[in-house]
C-alpha cells in the first residue's frame, strides 16, 4: 500500500521528528510512504481566524498535491478535522458566492482519503500492536478535535496500551481543552494561559515523564507551559512513541 | 391588537417585525409549507417496558428521589391516613378545593377552608396545609400534574400553604412518560407540573429544597376509586 | 437613572454598557482567585450531574435531533407561527403587543404598568428583560421592580449583574450571599433574620421570608417564558422555586415579555423540550414546577394578561443562514457549564446577560458588531467543541463562532434592524489581516516556505526566548519551541527525494 504523508506545516517547520516517526512507523508496517513536496498547510489557522478566503487556495493545493493517492495520512487530528469538517463548508460557501468551480470535488476528494494517523492504523491497517517499545511513564491527553470532531474514541489508547514497557497514567479532567485553540492562544492570552496552567498541573500530578497527544499544536502550548513551570513532563507526539522499538530509540 | 397608546406596540411594529421575518427568510422556498420541513419523531413514547405495578413503584421512587414524601393506601385507608398526616404536622387550618370528595377529610380534626375567589392571598398564607387531587402523575419524572379541576382548585391554593397533600389514583391517573402526559392534558386549562417540593440550585449550583412553594409535598397513591367518598 | 427610587442610594442599576472587549475583561477576571474557585466548584458540580441525567434516556440523540428540527421548522416559518400564536392568545383573553426593539418593549411595559395605577411589580427571572434593561426603564418611570428568583434577588440586592443564564449569581459563594442578604435586605423590605448563617437552606429561608410579603401584596407581575405554543396560545414557564408560580397566579395583571424565537408550533412539541430542558439545565428528570397558561382563566390567576413579543435583533439574526441556528437556544446553560473559557473568565467578561459560548454567538448577532466588545466575542473560544456536544438543540456553536469571526475580519453582508448592509472589515484587525495575507502567500508557495524555514533554522541560536510586542502574549507564560536544524521537507529531500522533491525512495538511495 502506498500512502501520501501530509505532515502539516507545524510539524514540517517545528517538529520534523514527528514526520520522521510516521515514516519509520508506516514503513515498519509495510506501507510505502510518499511526501509530495507541493504540500503546504491545510488552511486551518486562516479559516478558524475568519480568513476563509485565504484558506481556499490551500484547500485546492492540498487536493492537487494528493490527487494521485488513495490514502493520505496525517499526524494531526486538528488538521484532519479541518479537512473533514470545514473543506465541505468552504466549498459550499464558495458555491453560494458563485465561485464554486471544482472546489466541491476538491473538498469531497480530500475528505474521502484523509486519515488521522491513529485512525489509519486502527481502521485501515487494522493494527493496534505496532511492535513499539517505550519504557516510560506516559499520560495521554485527548485533544479536542480528535475527541469531539473526529470521534477518535479510544483508538490512541488502544495503540498505546500495546506498547511494551509503557506505563499509562490518566490525568484529571482529561477531556478538558488545554487552552491552545490556535490564534486563541494569543488573542485571549489570559484565559489560554489559565487553561494551560490547569492542564499542566493535572498532567504533572500524574507523575508521568511524558505527555502524549495526537496533535503537536496542542503539545506546543502544553509543552511550552510545562517548560516555563519547570515541570519534568515532556511533550511527545504519539507517532514518536509508536515508532520506537527496542533496537531503535528515535 | 394593542392596548398601548399611539403606535407603540401597535400594528406598525407588528407589520415591521413580520416584514423583517419574511425578508430574513428569503432563502426558504415560497412553496415550502411549515410541515414540509421534516421533524423526525423517532424518539421513544416511553422509556422501557413496565407493568402497571412497576410504573407505580417508579413514580414513588422518583417522587422520593426529589424529596417528596410518598404514601400508599386504599380507598378505606385514605381518610385515616390524611387525618394522621395532618395531625402529625399539627395542621389546624386546611384549604380544600370545592370539589374534593367530602369523605376524604371526614376523620381530620381541622378547620376546613374551602377555596373561593373571596379567599385573599393573605388568608391562604394563614393556612397550614392544602389537600388536592391531581389530573395525572408521570412515573419517569416523578411528577404530579394539576389542571385546576374541581378536586384541585385554583392554582394558588396548592402554592401558598407550606404543606401540600396530593392524592393520586393508582388505577387511572399514572402515565409513564412526558409524551403520554401531554396527550392526556387539555392545553386550555391552567396546568401546574409539580416534581417534588420547591427547590433551588441558585447557591453554588447545588440543589436545596424549600423556597417559595410548599416545602413539604406529600403524595398519596391510592388503590381503588376514592372519588365517590 | 432616577436616584429617587434607588434603594441602594447609589446607581440604581448596574449596566453592561461600555464594557471592555473580552480579552481585557478576562485578563482581570482570570486573576480573581475567589471567582475562579466559585465558578469551578459550581460548574464541575453540575457537569457530572447533567451527564448522568442525560444518560438515563437512551433516545437522547433522537430527542436532540427532534428538538433542533422543531426549532428549525419554527424559524423557517416564524411569521406564520407568530400570527397563529397571536390569534390563539387573543382568543383566550390575552392581549398581544409587538416590540421591534428594547426601547419599544420598555415603553409598552411601562405604560401597561402605569395603566394599572400600581407602582411596584414582582418579576419572574427573565433573561429577556435583562437584555432590554427593563428594570432601569421602570425605575425611571417611578416603578419599582422586585426580582423574585433567588439568584436574581442576590444580583439585585448586590447591585450586580447576572453572570450565568440559569444561575445569575453563580459568581457568588454562600458566604458572599449571606453578607449581601444581611447588609442589603432591609433596604428592599423585610430584613434578613438575625444571625443568618451561610447554610444554603437558611439562605433560601431568608429569601422566602423576604419575598413572601411582596408576593401577597403586589398586583402586577412581569415574566418571560420558556415556550409559547402557536397552535394553542399556551405559554410555559419552567422553574424551581415557586416564585414563578407566585408571580403567574397571585397578581391581577401579568405581563410576559418573550423573544419571538421562543415559539414552538404544537402542543405535542412540548414533549420534546420538557425532556431536553430540565436534564440539560439543572440536571433533573423534571424541574420542581412548570406552569402552563393560555390567556386568562375566570377566577384563577390574573384577570389581565399581556404578551409582549420582542424582536430586538432576532430578525437580523434570522437573516443570517449560518448564524440563525443560535435562535434555537432554549437557554438551558449546559454550554456555559462545560465551557473551559467561561469557567475561567466568568460571565461578566461577556458583557451581556447571555454569557458563555451561546452568548459569544448570540450577543454579536442581536446587537450587531457594534463595538470592540461584540467584535471580540466570536474569538472568546478555543473551539474545543464541548458546547456543541452538550447542546440539547444541536447548535453548532464553533461553526457560528468561525462564521462570525469572518464577518469581523473580512466584513460582509449583515442585516441591521431589518436592512441588509455590507460591513467593512474591522479596523483593529488590519495588521493581522496583512500578516495572514503574507502567510497565505508563503504557504501557497512551498519554495518560499522552504526558504523561510531554512533561514529560521540557520539563525536559530539567536532566537530570543521571550518575544517583544504582540509575541509576548505567547512567551509571557509559555516557552517557545526550539527551531529544529532541518525542516521535515529538507530532511525528506536529503534522505529520500533529492532537491526536486518527491516520489520513489529507490531514486534517493
Which of the other chains make 3 or more beta carbon contacts under 8 angstroms with chain B?
A: C
ipTM of this complex prediction, to 2 decimal places = 0.97
> Of the candidates C197, C127, C374, C216, which has an alpha carbon nearest to the alpha carbon of residue B124?
C216
Kindly state the average pLDDT of the residues B86-112. 95
C271/B178 Cβ within 8 A: yes
C66-124 confidence digits (pLDDT tens): 999 999 999 999 999 999 999 999 999 999 999 999 999 999 999 999 999 999 999 99
B9/C104 Cβ within 8 A: yes
Q: Which of C273, C289, C310, C416 to mutate to test the interface with B (most CBs of B within 10 A)?
A: C289
Confidence of residue B11 (pLDDT cuts 50, 70, 90): confident
Q: Is residue A150 part of a domain?
A: yes
Segment holding A112, helix H or strand E: helix A103-113
Q: Are B199 and B208 in contact (CB under 8 A)?
A: yes
Residues of B whose CB is below 8 A from C70: 39
Q: Is residue A199 part of a domain?
A: yes
Size of interface B-C (CB pairs under 8 A): 303
C69/B38 Cβ within 8 A: yes
- Check CB contact of A31 with chain C, cutoff 8 Å: no
Instruction: Quote the CA–CA distance of B224 and C18 in Å, as a whole number.
Output: 65
**In this predicted structure, what is the pLDDT of residue B8?**
55
DSSP 8-state symbol, C354: S
Instruction: Quote the CA–CA distance of C319 and C314 in Å, as a whole number.
Output: 9
**In this predicted structure, what is the pLDDT of residue A2?**
85
The domains of chain B are located at: 1-39, 52-228
Q: What CATH number corresponds to the domain at position A74?
A: 3.40.50
Confidence of residue C227 (pLDDT cuts 50, 70, 90): very high
> For B52-228, which CATH superfamily applies?
NagB/RpiA/CoA transferase-like (3.40.50.10420)
Sequence-ordered strand ranges (E) for chain B:
69-74, 93-96, 111-114, 129-132, 136-138, 143-146, 163-169, 174-175, 191-194, 199-203, 206-209, 216-223
C501/A58 Cβ within 8 A: no
Q: Can you read off the three cell numbers belonging to residue A87? A: 473543506
- Which 133-152 residues of chain C touch chain A by CB within 8 A? none
Give the DSSP per-residue string, C149-170: SHHHHHHHHTT----SSS-TTT
Structural domain count, chain A: 2
CB atoms within 10 A of CB C102: 20
The reply to whether A82 and A188 lie within a common domain is no
Q: Are B150 and B156 in contact (CB under 8 A)?
A: no
Closest CB to C418: pick one of B20, B35, B43.
B20
Q: Can you read off the three cell numbers belonging to residue A140? A: 495521554
Kindly state the average pLDDT of the residues C346-359. 96
Instruction: Quote the CA–CA distance of C62 and C82 in Å, as a whole number.
Output: 27
- Check CB contact of C496 with chain A, cutoff 8 Å: yes
- Which 99-138 residues of chain A touch chain C by CB within 8 A? none
Confidence of residue C20 (pLDDT cuts 50, 70, 90): confident
pLDDT above 60: residue B218: yes
Q: Is residue A26 part of a domain?
A: yes
A145/C502 Cβ within 8 A: no
A185/C473 Cβ within 8 A: yes
Average pLDDT over chain C, rounded to whole? Answer: 92
What domains appear along chain C, each with residue ranges and CATH number? 44-314 (3.40.50.10420), 447-508 (no CATH)
A61/C384 Cβ within 8 A: no
Confidence of residue C5 (pLDDT cuts 50, 70, 90): very low
Kindly state the average pLDDT of the residues B131-146. 98
- Classified as helix, coil or strand, A193 is helix
Confidence of residue A248 (pLDDT cuts 50, 70, 90): confident
The reply to whether A99 and A180 lie within a common domain is no
Q: Is residue A132 part of a domain?
A: no
> Of the candidates C354, C285, C276, C275, which has an alpha carbon nearest to the alpha carbon of residue C317?
C354
Residues of C whose CB is below 8 A from B190: 291-294, 297, 300-301
Q: Are C347 and C170 in contact (CB under 8 A)?
A: yes
Confidence of residue A221 (pLDDT cuts 50, 70, 90): very high
Q: Which of C43, C428, C440, C470 to mutate to test the interface with A (most CBs of A within 10 A)?
A: C440
Which of the other chains make 3 or more beta carbon contacts under 8 angstroms with chain C?
A: A, B
Q: At what angle do helices A103-113 and A87-96 cross, to 10 degrees?
A: 170
pLDDT above 60: residue A250: no
**In this predicted structure, what is the pLDDT of residue C11?**
42
Q: Are C278 and C130 in contact (CB under 8 A)?
A: no
C282-321 confidence digits (pLDDT tens): 999 999 999 999 999 999 999 999 999 999 999 999 999 9
Q: Can you read off the three cell numbers belonging to residue A141? A: 491527553
A188/C26 Cβ within 8 A: yes
- Check CB contact of A191 with chain C, cutoff 8 Å: yes
pTM of the model: 0.95
Q: Is residue A129 part of a domain?
A: no
Closest CB to C487: pick one of A12, A61, A185.
A12
**In this predicted structure, what is the pLDDT of residue C498?**
56
Q: Is residue A196 part of a domain?
A: yes
**In this predicted structure, what is the pLDDT of residue C427?**
85
The reply to whether A52 and A75 lie within a common domain is yes
Instruction: Quote the CA–CA distance of C455 and A30 in Å, as a whole number.
Output: 35
**In this predicted structure, what is the pLDDT of residue B115?**
96
Q: What percent of chain B has pLDDT over 90?
A: 89
Q: CA of B121 to nearest chain C CA: how many angstroms apart?
A: 6
- Classified as helix, coil or strand, C346 is coil
Q: CA of C166 to nearest chain B CA: how many angstroms apart?
A: 8
Closest CB to C449: pick one of A15, A20, A40.
A40
C389/A148 Cβ within 8 A: yes
C353-401 confidence digits (pLDDT tens): 999 999 999 999 999 999 999 999 999 999 999 999 999 999 999 999 9
Closest CB to C340: pick one of A14, A195, A224.
A195
The reply to whether A99 and A165 lie within a common domain is no
Residues of C whose CB is below 8 A from B1: 86, 90, 95-98
**C196, C200, C203, C209: CA torsion to nearest 10:** -120
Confidence of residue A249 (pLDDT cuts 50, 70, 90): low
DSSP 8-state symbol, A147: I
Q: Can you read off the three cell numbers belonging to residue A55? A: 484558506
B18/C79 Cβ within 8 A: yes
Final residue belonging to a domain, choices A124, A147, A173: A124
Scanning every residue of chain A, which has its alpha carbon at the shortest distance from the alpha carbon of C483?
A14
**In this predicted structure, what is the pLDDT of residue A99?**
87
Kindly state the average pLDDT of the residues A192-203. 97
The reply to whether A88 and A190 lie within a common domain is no
Scanning every residue of chain A, which has its alpha carbon at the shortest distance from the alpha carbon of C499?
A37
Close Cβ partners of B133 (under 8 Å, ≥ 6 residues apart): B97, B100, B149, B151, B152, B166, B167, B168, B169
Highest mean pLDDT among B204-218, C148-162, C438-452: C148-162
Q: Is residue A248 part of a domain?
A: no
Residues of C whose CB is below 8 A from B38: 69
A82-115 confidence digits (pLDDT tens): 999 999 999 999 999 998 788 999 999 999 999 9
Closest CB to C30: pick one of A184, A190, A227.
A190
- Check CB contact of C465 with chain A, cutoff 8 Å: no
The reply to whether A97 and A144 lie within a common domain is no
Please give the residue range of the domain that contains residue A177: 137-243
The reply to whether A53 and A86 lie within a common domain is yes
C430-465 confidence digits (pLDDT tens): 888 888 889 989 999 989 999 999 998 888 888 888
C287/B202 Cβ within 8 A: no
Amino acid at each position: 500500500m502506498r500512502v501520501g504523508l501530509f505532515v502539516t506545516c507545524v510539524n514540517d517547520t517545528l517538529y520534523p521528528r514527528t514526520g520522521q516517526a510516521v515514516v519509520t512507523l508506516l514503513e515498519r508496517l509495510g506501507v510505502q510512504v510518499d511526501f509530495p513536496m507541493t504540500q503546504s498547510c491545510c488552511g486551518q489557522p486562516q479559516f478558524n481566524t475568519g480568513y476563509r478566503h485565504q484558506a481556499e487556495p490551500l484547500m485546492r493545493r492540498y487536493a492537487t498535491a494528493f490527487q494521485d493517492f488513495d490514502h493520505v495520512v496525517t499526524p494531526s487530528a486538528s488538521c484532519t478535522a479541518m479537512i473533514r469538517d470545514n473543506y465541505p463548508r468552504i466549498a459550499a460557501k464558495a458555491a453560494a458566492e458563485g465561485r464554486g468551480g471544482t472546489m466541491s470535488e476538491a473538498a469531497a476528494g480530500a475528505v474521502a482519503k484523509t486519515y488521522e494517523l491513529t485512525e489509519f492504523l486502527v481502521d485501515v491497517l487494522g493494527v493496534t500492536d505496532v511492535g513499539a517499545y517505550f519504557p516510560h511513564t506516559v499520560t495521554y491527553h485527548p485533544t479536542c478535535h480528535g475527541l469531539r470532531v473526529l470521534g477518535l474514541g479510544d483508538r490512541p489508547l488502544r495503540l498505546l496500551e500495546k506498547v511494551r514497557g509503557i506505563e499509562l497514567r490518566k490525568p484529571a479532567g482529561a477531556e478538558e481543552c488545554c487552552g491552545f485553540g490556535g490564534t486563541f492562544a494569543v488573542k485571549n492570552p489570559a484565559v489560554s494561559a489559565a487553561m494551560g496552567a490547569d492542564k499542566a498541573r493535572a498532567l504533572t500530578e500524574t507523575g508521568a515523564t511524558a505527555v502524549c497527544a495526537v496533535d503537536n499544536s496542542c503539545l506546543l502550548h502544553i509543552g511550552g507551559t510545562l517548560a516555563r513551570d519547570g515541570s519534568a513532563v515532556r511533550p511527545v507526539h504519539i507517532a514518536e512513541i509508536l515508532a520506537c522499538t527496542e533496537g531503535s530509540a528515535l | 391588537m394593542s392596548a398601548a397608546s399611539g403606535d407603540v406596540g401597535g400594528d406598525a411594529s407588528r407589520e415591521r417585525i413580520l416584514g423583517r421575518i419574511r425578508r430574513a427568510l428569503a432563502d426558504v422556498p415560497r412553496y415550502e409549507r411549515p410541515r414540509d420541513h421534516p421533524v423526525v419523531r423517532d424518539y421513544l413514547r416511553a422509556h422501557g417496558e413496565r407493568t402497571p405495578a412497576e410504573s407505580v413503584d417508579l413514580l414513588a421512587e422518583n417522587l422520593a428521589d426529589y424529596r417528596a414524601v410518598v404514601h400508599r393506601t386504599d380507598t378505606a385507608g385514605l381518610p385515616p391516613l390524611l387525618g394522621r398526616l395532618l395531625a402529625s404536622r399539627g395542621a389546624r387550618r386546611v384549604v380544600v378545593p370545592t370539589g374534593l370528595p367530602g369523605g376524604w377529610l371526614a376523620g381530620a380534626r381541622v378547620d376546613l377552608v374551602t377555596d373561593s375567589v373571596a379567599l385573599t392571598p393573605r388568608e391562604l398564607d394563614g393556612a397550614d396545609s392544602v389537600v388536592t387531587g391531581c389530573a395525572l402523575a408521570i412515573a419517569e419524572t416523578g411528577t404530579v400534574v394539576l389542571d385546576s379541576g374541581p378536586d384541585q382548585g385554583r392554582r394558588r391554593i396548592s402554592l401558598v400553604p407550606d404543606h401540600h397533600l396530593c392524592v393520586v389514583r393508582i388505577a387511572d391517573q399514572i402515565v409513564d412518560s412526558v409524551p403520554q402526559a401531554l396527550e392526556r392534558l387539555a392545553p386550555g386549562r391552567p396546568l401546574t407540573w409539580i416534581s417534588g417540593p420547591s427547590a433551588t440550585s441558585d447557591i453554588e449550583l447545588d440543589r436545596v429544597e424549600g423556597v417559595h412553594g410548599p416545602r413539604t409535598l406529600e403524595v398519596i397513591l391510592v388503590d381503588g376509586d376514592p372519588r365517590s367518598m | 437613572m432616577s436616584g429617587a427610587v434607588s434603594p441602594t442610594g447609589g446607581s440604581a442599576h448596574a449596566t453592561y454598557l461600555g464594557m471592555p472587549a473580552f480579552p481585557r475583561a478576562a485578563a482581570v477576571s482570570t486573576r480573581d482567585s475567589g471567582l475562579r474557585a466559585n465558578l469551578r466548584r459550581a460548574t464541575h458540580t453540575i457537569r457530572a450531574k447533567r451527564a448522568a441525567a442525560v444518560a438515563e434516556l437512551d433516545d437522547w440523540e433522537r430527542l436532540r435531533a427532534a428538538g433542533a428540527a422543531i426549532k428549525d421548522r419554527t424559524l423557517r416559518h416564524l411569521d406564520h407561527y407568530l400570527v397563529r400564536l397571536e390569534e390563539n392568545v387573543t382568543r383566550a383573553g390575552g392581549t398581544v403587543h409587538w416590540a421591534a426593539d428594547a426601547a419599544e418593549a420598555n415603553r409598552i411595559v411601562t405604560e401597561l404598568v402605569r395603566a394599572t395605577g400600581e407602582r411596584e411589580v414582582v418579576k419572574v427571572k427573565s433573561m429577556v428583560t435583562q437584555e432590554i434593561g427593563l428594570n432601569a426603564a421602570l425605575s425611571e418611570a417611578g416603578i419599582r421592580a422586585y426580582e423574585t428568583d433567588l439568584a436574581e434577588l442576590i444580583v439585585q440586592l448586590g447591585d450586580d449583574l447576572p453572570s450565568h443564564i440559569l444561575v445569575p449569581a453563580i459568581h457568588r459563594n454562600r458566604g458572599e450571599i449571606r453578607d449581601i442578604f444581611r447588609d442589603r435586605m432591609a433596604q428592599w423590605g423585610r430584613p434578613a433574620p438575625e444571625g443568618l448563617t451561610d447554610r444554603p437552606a437558611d439562605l433560601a429561608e431568608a429569601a422566602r421570608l423576604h419575598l413572601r410579603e411582596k408576593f401577597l401584596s403586589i398586583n402586577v407581575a412581569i415574566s418571560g417564558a420558556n415556550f409559547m405554543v402557536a397552535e394553542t396560545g399556551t405559554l410555559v414557564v419552567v422553574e424551581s422555586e415557586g416564585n414563578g408560580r407566585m408571580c403567574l397566579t397571585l397578581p391581577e395583571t401579568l405581563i410576559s415579555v418573550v423573544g419571538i424565537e421562543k415559539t414552538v408550533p404544537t402542543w405535542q412539541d412540548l414533549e420534546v423540550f420538557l425532556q431536553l430542558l430540565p436534564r440539560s439545565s439543572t440536571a433533573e428528570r423534571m424541574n420542581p414546577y412548570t406552569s402552563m397558561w393560555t390567556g386568562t382563566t375566570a377566577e384563577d390567576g390574573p384577570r389581565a394578561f399581556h404578551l409582549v413579543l420582542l424582536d430586538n435583533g432576532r430578525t437580523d439574526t434570522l437573516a443570517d443562514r449560518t448564524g440563525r441556528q443560535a435562535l434555537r437556544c432554549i437557554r438551558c446553560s449546559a454550554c456555559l457549564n462545560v465551557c473551559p473559557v467561561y469557567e475561567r473568565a466568568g460571565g461578566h467578561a461577556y458583557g451581556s446577560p447571555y454569557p458563555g459560548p451561546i452568548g459569544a454567538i448570540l450577543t454579536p448577532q442581536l446587537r450587531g458588531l457594534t463595538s470592540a466588545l461584540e467584535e471580540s466575542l466570536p474569538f472568546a473560544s478555543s473551539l474545543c467543541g464541548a458546547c456543541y456536544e452538550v447542546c440539547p438543540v444541536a447548535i453548532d456553536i464553533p461553526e457560528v463562532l468561525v462564521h462570525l469571526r469572518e464577518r469581523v475580519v473580512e466584513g460582509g453582508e449583515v442585516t441591521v434592524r431589518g436592512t441588509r448592509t455590507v460591513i467593512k472589515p474591522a479596523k483593529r484587525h488590519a495588521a493581522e489581516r496583512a500578516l495572514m495575507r503574507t502567510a497565505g502567500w508563503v504557504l501557497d508557495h512551498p519554495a518560499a516556505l522552504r526558504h523561510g524555514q531554512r533561514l529560521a533554522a540557520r539563525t536559530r541560536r539567536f532566537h530570543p526566548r521571550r518575544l517583544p510586542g504582540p509575541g509576548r502574549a505567547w512567551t509571557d507564560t509559555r516557552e517557545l519551541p526550539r527551531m529544529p536544524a532541518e525542516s521535515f521537507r529538507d530532511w525528506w529531500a536529503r534522505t529520500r527525494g533529492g532537491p526536486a522533491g518527491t516520489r520513489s525512495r529507490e531514486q534517493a538511495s
